[in-house]
Amino acid sequence: MTNRIGAPGADPRLLRAIERAIEAPRAAPLRLAAFAVASVPAASAWPRGLVFVPDEAGGPTLAFSDGADWRRVQDGAVIS
């Protein structure tokens, strides 16, 4: 038997509990990892990743990885 989350033979009660936990709305803020511009991990290792950059030239910002560079969320510019 294969179920919705693709675990053949697993206990259906456990799988339903996992599905509920995954689908449950979150009631807490998301805590992002913070990195100085000079210490962000390689963007290629974190495609679609999101980080907080407190020392970006334009002020503290969120940045996302496009697979090549870390870019500011607000305008897509490479962080500096």
Confidence of residue 11 (pLDDT cuts 50, 70, 90): confident
d(CA 19, CA 49): 23
- Amino acid 11 reads D
> How does the average pLDDT of the chain come out, rounded?
84
Question: Can you give the pTM of this predicted structure?
Answer: 0.66
- Give ∠ CA 41-43-45 in degrees, rounded to 5: 80
Residue 41 tokens read as 């991990």
Report whether 36 contacts 53 (CB < 8 A). yes
Hey, where are the domains in the chain?
1-27, 31-80
The predicted-structure confidence for 19-45, as pLDDT tens digits, reads as follows 777 766 667 777 899 999 999 999 999
- Asked whether the predicted pLDDT for residue 72 surpasses 80, the reply is yes
